[in-house]
Amino acid sequence: MKKLFTLKNVLICILFTIFLLFVKDNFSVVWNAICMFASILTPFVIGFLFAYILNFPYKFFYSKVFGFLKNKKAFFAKMRKPLSIICTYTAVIAVLGFLIAILVPQIGDNISSLVERVPSYFNSVYEWLSSVADWANKTYNANIDIDASFAQLGKEIANNLNGTTIANFSKNVLFDTLLPMITNTTAGIYNFIMGIVISVYFLSAKEMLCRQVKRLAVAFIPIKFLPKVYEIVDITDTKCGRFLVGDIIDAAFIGVLTFITMSIFQLPYAALIAVLIGVTNIIPFFGPFIGAIPSAIILFLESPWDMIIFIAIVFVIQQLDGNLFKPKIIGSQVGLSSFWVLFSVIVGGSLFGMVGFILGTPIYAVIYTLIGKRVKNAIDSKGKIAQEALDFEVLNYVKIATEQKKIREEKENAQKEKLLKFIKPDKHTNSESDDDNKDGKE
């Protein structure tokens, strides 16, 4: 049996090696298959995310608003879930519709105004560069000619355009840029709409789906590993899921607060900048900078004084968000220091792009929590001496060595006592058997 088991493991290793070699030799085919499979599942992923986010208001309606239907007749009890789902989507659509009705017209006006003022912004940049060049020429004799530099830049652009035929240019624009953009936009709209529809089914059938997943886990995962699997799922829900939902709520709140504050101070492009600040605020650590820097540049081209006011507003809002709003909305779900937040954002963004920027922190928080629990259990198992070794102020190597020696001696004595308990009865029984033999001989 042991030989067969060993042979089975060897065959599994050989088959797995062959599979890896096949993937290596046909990586492009395998990758295209994975991408096609992922594109097919994209609406379900979007629907699951929508359902997970909407599960929080759904639970409010299900338990608080329509909780009284639980003890009513069967018909009213069955209406509890559909009423909760209808109210959830109605409330979300109402809030989004209200924000769109307020923000979209203003964002459109801001974008059109920004496009109209682009030439004046170029003139402002040109005048600023000219003044800097004049100062450098007078102070350091730098011989910088801004007009010649701009003329050379225009000549290079003209040469590149002349070197490219209109047919090739149209072909490149149409087939390489415009057509993929239309295709991706259509696919994105389709996935978004289907995701909303699928989220309704996810939300209405979540108990059944959870029960089916649990049955699969119990059926195919060894029982000794199930507590650890359930722990990982619980920590992931706490650290990753609730953080994501809370971060979205916090980002929306910051965007609205930025819009209101900029409107009070009558700063231009309030709606456009508020949306940019709110969306980028979802990204931990770097989000406020990503949204604030281009906004400050736009306001600087409009008026340096507006930029100064905007920077002061962003600074105050971010201080309130970091010390008041975010702890209240998200709580201590992440439990990471600033260093580990920075680490998780950089590593996640480098590996997975924008998704890594957003989800890097909560995913790393899950890993950090699991490792922290394992370390704590290992330290606790070593007893008092390990706790003393953690405190560098009372660290005493002689004391540690003495304590370890004492523990070893106690273990050795305990083992000796166990051996004596087994040996002594044997001696007693042997002496009794000798006496019986003597009696028999007599």
pLDDT of the residue at 427: 47
Higher pLDDT, 309 or 431: 309
Query: Rounded to an integer, what distance in angstroms lies between the CA atom of residue 197 and that of residue 178?
Result: 29
Across the range 392-414, mean pLDDT stands at: 70
Alpha-carbon distance of 290 to 282, in angstroms, equals 11
Residue 313's pLDDT is: 92
Angle between helices 118-140 and 80-116 (to 10 degrees): 50
Residue 440 has what pLDDT?
Answer: 45
State the pLDDT at residue 172. 59
Assess whether pLDDT exceeds 60 at residue 4. no
Average pLDDT over residues 23-40: 81
Residue 160 identity: N
Task: Indicate the pTM of the whole model.
Answer: 0.65
Q: What percent of the chain has pLDDT over 70?
A: 80
Q: Which of 250, 252, 272 is nearest to 262 (CA)?
A: 272
Q: Are the C-beta atoms of 310 and 295 separated by less than 8 Å? A: yes
* Residue 205 phi, psi dihedral angles, 5° rounding: -115, 25
pLDDT given for residue 261 in this prediction: 92
Which range, 142-151, 182-191, 264-273, 418-427, has the best average confidence (pLDDT)?
A: 264-273
pLDDT of residue 234: 85
Closest alpha carbon to 283 in 340, 334, 363, 358: 358
260 vs 151 pLDDT, higher one:
260
Whether residue 61 contacts residue 250, with contact meaning beta carbons closer than 8 Å, is answered with no
pLDDT, the chain, mean: 78
pLDDT category at 90 given cuts 50, 70, 90 is very high
- The pLDDT of 307-321, averaged and rounded, is 90
